[in-house]
Structure 1
């Protein structure tokens, strides 16, 4: 298979994204550290950049928003009482929520900030300008809680759960302590420890991607056969591989949006990973009991 044109195209887009951020640093520089002068605005600018780039390429019915997921303990469908023993629950504030607003309503909206029901959540993405040592477990925990809110059933009733949202942590650059013997192994250990004491862990509740756009990617492999664990692998980005991070995000979002549990449409050929590109590291696996 080929796809080189698509790889080159996505690489150019990521390079442009990173250049745009560096222009922001150039115009509003910090006097005593790397980055822009105002930390809060610095981080929001990165979130806005990632949202803008995702919104360019996703189907029109998907909005790239920020805000909260609210799971009300109410009837669903015509007679669904699967939440009768629950209480109303909501997430923490989430950096990016990819939401199917064409098919699902919104509780409240303030510009791009929203409160949404779980049925329409296609992806939840944590965004960091620089990924630091303390961020990995914290963000994985927040994504786990968001995914737990989004366990909902389809038209077939309680035995047919729809595919959960794609979960990701993305940063422009990694600030993980450089003295560590192996960054990818250390990050996977942080991911694994987040889920170590979770009961009845589902594959869909596990983070799908953690990456620094211009450095490395860690991703969860597709499940095969009898599902007992989620396997993770790592890639160190080589020359001309800046496309990897954005492609993982787009592929993950589209794989949920076009999943058979959500709609009867075949996913288009839209992303292209290098054929026969070996993984740089098989990082390990995390036990899980069910797909969703």
Structure 2
């Protein structure tokens, strides 16, 4: 006899997955510490280790038709290309990679479902640069007939040198400053260029509603701003962080594959996010603006 799934069990499973990521992240640092035991003596390899943990988490939780890799995006029509992306989620059934080498790929923009930058520690001083580079990926992958990719910045921990209050204030203010400035360019900004998630796995989430509600259209002018919210530790914060990543990618997959019904997620009761700003947008998505950038890295 079939039984109704217990929502609390699903929440517990995702909570445990995120806790496992936190428990495992520092293994490399403990095996290969620097001289004063404050961080790894091999920062590059530690970076690959922390990226691999998030990548494997996504592989376990996304449709098997999607691939999770590292690599580059190349628009063969315009000659525009991205920098190397820590985690690149693409759909080879839409367009096979142009090149595969080891665990890395070079893919076309139309195959990209998501791009994630991974850091061990989320710090305010590097945030603006990371956000602008991710935004450039959204601009490169923009298409008039399909939602833009899911863009996220994920850190394992908040800056330990700042109090929680100061950390949140610095991250929130920097985020709004970056995207307000981008929205004030002559060409303004599309929703597909806005980073949807900034996450610290030990207890912080910033969420922008970059993906329009289903049925509102991709290129319509039904909304003028993208609201931004944030939240901190709570009864279900680990679960919320896991769902933020999986749902952000899954919703785009299901939007592109309407024959596949998207799943529902357990409620986030007790995990309220606070509104704090909104980013003005020109449209939901649009083709990349490549006239002055042919043959160069995606514009920032």
- Structure 1 and Structure 2 fold alike (TM over 0.5): yes
Query: Deviation string for 1:138-164 (max 9, x for gaps)?
Result: 1111111111111124xxxxxxx1011
d(CA) in 1 for partners of 2:138 and 2:172? Answer: 19
| 1:274 matched to 2:268 | yes
Tell me, yes or no, if the aligned pair for 1:7 and 1:273 is still in contact at 8 Å.
no
Map of 1:1-292 to 2, 5 A cutoff? 3-73=7-77, 87-153=78-144, 161-175=145-159, 178=162, 181-195=165-179, 196=181, 197-198=184-185, 199-221=187-209, 223=212, 226-259=222-255, 261-269=256-264, 271-275=265-269, 277-279=271-273, 281-292=274-285
Shift of 1:16: 1.2
User: Please, which moves more after superposition, 207-216 or 27-36?
Assistant: 27-36
Q: TM-score, normalised by structure 2?
A: 0.83
Q: Structure 1: where are the runs of 5+ without partners?
A: 74-86, 154-160
**Which ranges of 4 or more aligned residues in structure 1 deviate by more than 6 Å?**
none
Tell me, yes or no, if the aligned pair for 2:226 and 2:281 is still in contact at 8 Å.
yes
Q: Helix, strand or coil for the counterpart of 1:46?
A: helix
d(CA) in 2 for partners of 1:21 and 1:179? Answer: 22
d(CA) in 2 for partners of 1:247 and 1:140? Answer: 21
d(CA) in 2 for partners of 1:33 and 1:235? Answer: 31
Q: TM-score, normalised by structure 1?
A: 0.85
Shift of 1:289: 1.7
Tell me, yes or no, if the aligned pair for 2:234 and 2:271 is still in contact at 8 Å.
no
Tell me, yes or no, if the aligned pair for 2:234 and 2:270 is still in contact at 8 Å.
no
Q: Helix, strand or coil for the counterpart of 2:87?
A: strand
Q: Structure 2: where are the runs of 5+ without partners?
A: 217-221, 286-300
Query: Deviation string for 1:212-269 (max 9, x for gaps)?
Result: 011110101364683111111111022552222221000100011101x444321123
Query: Deviation string for 1:94-123 (max 9, x for gaps)?
Result: 111100013311111112211100011000
d(CA) in 1 for partners of 2:36 and 2:25? Answer: 18
Shift of 1:190: 1.3
Tell me, yes or no, if the aligned pair for 2:228 and 2:278 is still in contact at 8 Å.
yes
Shift of 1:177: 5.1
d(CA) in 2 for partners of 1:263 and 1:117? Answer: 22
Tell me, yes or no, if the aligned pair for 2:87 and 2:116 is still in contact at 8 Å.
yes
d(CA) in 2 for partners of 1:25 and 1:179? Answer: 23
**RMSD (Å) for aligned C-alpha atoms:** 2.1
Q: Which has the higher strand share?
A: 1
Could you say which residue in structure 2 is the equivalent of 1:77? Answer: none
Aligned pair count reads 269
d(CA) in 1 for partners of 2:165 and 2:260? Answer: 45
Tell me, yes or no, if the aligned pair for 2:88 and 2:112 is still in contact at 8 Å.
yes
Shift of 1:33: 4.3
